[in-house]
Amino acid sequence: MSQNTLQEPKTVELHRPAAAIKLPEAATWPLDEVMALFDLPFTELMARAQETHRVNFPDGDVELATLLSIKTGGCEEDCGYCPQAARYDTGVEAKKILDIDTVLEAARQAKDNGATRFCMGAAWRSPKDRDMDKVEEMVREVKALGMETCATLGMLEEEQAKRLKDAGLDYYNHNLDTAPEFYDNVISTREYQDRLDTLGRIREAGLKVCCGGIVGMGESRLQRAGLIAQLANLNPYPESVPVNHLVQVEGTPLYGLDPLDPFEFVRTIAVARITMPKARVRLSAGRRQMGETVQAMCFLAGANSIFYGDKLLTTDNPEADDDRKLLAKLGLKTRGTVLESAPKEKCGC
């Protein structure tokens, strides 16, 4: 895998997903229009993003989600950003899947800290049948705590997606990672179409989609626009869009890249908000390295969800107390607060 940025592609085409997720005959957001948003003066882009955000999320609340690695390390894939790939020497040890009591304790703690969604991630190319029984039990028990449930387990077959839906799963996360034209620079063990096919199976099963990508992997602005165009033209577009800033881990192929300009990351958040107006746009990996100022700009650009807690799978994340202090400084409400304070419907009896 090359660590160098590709030259701008001469043509950029949207890849076709499986039948359950469709692309309109004419793209809702052609690539040139997405690129035009990226190229706007920064203040104009921020103003448009904030206007879009206010119209679609008048409460201005931030969703708190917690991510737990239920099975860490030993993955057979070669994703160039991931310290959990077995082929890279990153110090991450392969571990067995967590027991149900450990997962439930983490979920209870997340709920006590204010999280409303609990996400469970496993370092698999795809889950095996023996894994599915355990994951389904986790989903049922976490759901019983009154939390939204999300899982990211790799590629899914149709029957696996249905089983997760039947267990009570709300969201399934499966990121596109980057633009189709840059994908081969990052991953060689699965095709872009494999990701789109899994998204189609998720939709067919009736699950909500959590799908985004990673920026700062050496891609160009045009390729960042290509990622957003691919996401925005899915029909429907994802309900949750996690935008990750590459966390460089020594031992992975993408370690040592020049860091992405923070304003370019904020622009990506703003363009995601404008093109997917009703989605929860989530600040995901890389928040620790951003600092409070850049995070504040991201909220201004329309981010309204964060991963909340001290770990994102295997990388550090701002601690919950730090997040609460930052949200308080900015005067932002959390989704749980909004839900709790919403007026109850009067009985019609």
Catalytic center residues = 75, 79, 82, 119, 150, 210, 282
Query: Which residue from 245, 242, 305, 295 is spatially nearest to 272, judged by alpha carbons?
Result: 242
Is 298 labelled a binding residue? no
Task: Tell whether 119 is in a known binding site.
Answer: yes
Q: Which residue has the tokens 């449930």?
A: 149
Is residue 245 a contact partner of residue 265, using CB atoms and an 8 Å limit?
Answer: yes
Contact between 169 and 135 under an 8 Å Cβ cutoff? The reply is no
Residue 88 neighbours by CB distance under 10 Å: 20
Do residues 204 and 158 lie in contact, with contact meaning Cβ atoms separated by under 8 Å?
yes
Is there a contact between 282 and 244 (Cβ–Cβ < 8 Å)? no
Q: What share of the chain is helix, strand, coil (3-state, %, to 5)?
A: 40, 15, 45
Amino acid at 218: G
Q: Would you say 349 is a known binding-site residue?
A: no
Alpha-helical (H) ranges within the chain are 31-38, 42-56, 100-112, 129-144, 158-167, 192-204, 221-232, 262-275, 287-300, 320-330, 335-341
The answer to the question of whether 347 is labelled as a binding residue is no
β-strands 117-122, 171-173: how paired? unpaired
Q: Which residue has the tokens 């992975």?
A: 252
What is the Cα Rg of the chain in Å? 19
Q: Is 211 annotated as a binding residue?
A: no
Where is the binding site for [4Fe-4S] cluster, in residues?
75, 79, 82
User: Binding-site residues, please?
Assistant: 75, 79, 82, 119, 150, 210, 282
Binding residues for [2Fe-2S] cluster: 119, 150, 210, 282
